[in-house]
Chains A and B, each alone.
Chain A
Amino acid sequence: MSSVHPLHRVAIAGVAATEMARQLDTTSAEVSLRAALAALDDAGLTVADIDGVAARWPGPGGTVFQPGPADWAEVFGRPLRWVGDTYPQGVPGVLDAAAAVAAGLCETALVFGGQAGVMGGAGVADYTRPDNEFIACWGSLTAAQFALVAQVYRHRFAPDLERVAAIAAAIRTAGSNNPAAVMAGRGPYTAADVLASPMVAEPFRLLDLCLATEGAAAMVITTAERARDLVQPPVAILGGGAEWHRQQYVNPPRYDEVWGLGADAAHRAFELAELGPQDVDVFEFYDINTYEVVRQFEMLGLCAEGEGADYLWEAGIGVDGRHPLNTDGGLLSYSHIGWGGPTLKVVEAVRQIRGTAGPGQVADAEVALVTGAGAGAQYHNAMILGRG
Chain B
Amino acid sequence: MDGPTGELEDRSLRPLTGEFWAAVDREELVRPVCGDCGRSFFVPQFACPRCQSTNWAYEPSSGRGRVHSHTTVHRPPTPAFTAPYVLADVDVEEGWHLLTWIVDCEPDQVAIDMPVTVKFVTGPDGHRLPAFAPDGAAR
**B68 interface hit (Cβ, 8 Å):** yes
A129-B78, A199-B74 as given contacts; A137 in contact with B87, CB under 8 Å: no
**B71 interface hit (Cβ, 8 Å):** yes
- In contact, A201 and B79 (Cβ under 8 angstroms): no
Residues of A within 8 A of B76 (CB): 123, 139, 141
Residues of B within 8 A of A128 (CB): 77
- In contact, B112 and A152 (Cβ under 8 angstroms): yes
B94 nearest CB across to chain A (Å):
16
Q: Flag B103-134 by CB within 8 Å of A: 1 or 0 each.
A: 00000000010000000000111010100000
- In contact, A138 and B72 (Cβ under 8 angstroms): no
Q: CA A134 – CA B101 in complex, angstroms?
A: 12
The one of A123, A148, A202 in contact with B78, judged by C-beta atoms closer than 8 angstroms, is A123
Q: CA A139 – CA B79 in complex, angstroms?
A: 10
Q: Flag A191-206 by CB within 8 Å of B: 1 or 0 each.
A: 0000000111111000
Q: CA A200 – CA B85 in complex, angstroms?
A: 11
- In contact, B129 and A151 (Cβ under 8 angstroms): no
**B80 interface hit (Cβ, 8 Å):** yes
Residues of A within 8 A of B99 (CB): 134-135, 138, 140, 251-252
**B51 interface hit (Cβ, 8 Å):** no
Q: Flag A267-297 by CB within 8 Å of B: 1 or 0 each.
A: 0000000000000000000000000000000
- In contact, B43 and A140 (Cβ under 8 angstroms): no
- Chain A interface size, as a band, is 20 to 34
The one of A123, A137, A147 in contact with B79, judged by C-beta atoms closer than 8 angstroms, is A123
- In contact, B127 and A202 (Cβ under 8 angstroms): no
- In contact, B73 and A201 (Cβ under 8 angstroms): yes
A320 nearest CB across to chain B (Å):
35
- In contact, B77 and A250 (Cβ under 8 angstroms): no
Q: CA A201 – CA B77 in complex, angstroms?
A: 11
**B70 interface hit (Cβ, 8 Å):** yes
Residues of A within 8 A of B14 (CB): 133
28 contacts between A and B (CB under 8 A): A133-B14, A134-B42, A134-B98, A135-B99, A137-B127, A137-B129, A138-B100, A138-B129, A139-B76, A139-B77, A139-B124, A140-B77, A140-B87, A141-B73, A141-B76, A148-B69, A148-B87, A148-B88, A151-B71, A151-B112, A199-B72, A201-B71, A202-B72, A251-B97, A252-B97, A252-B98, A254-B69, A254-B89
Q: Which residues of B contact A (CB under 8 A)?
A: 1, 14, 17, 42-43, 68-81, 85, 87-89, 97-101, 112, 123-125, 127, 129
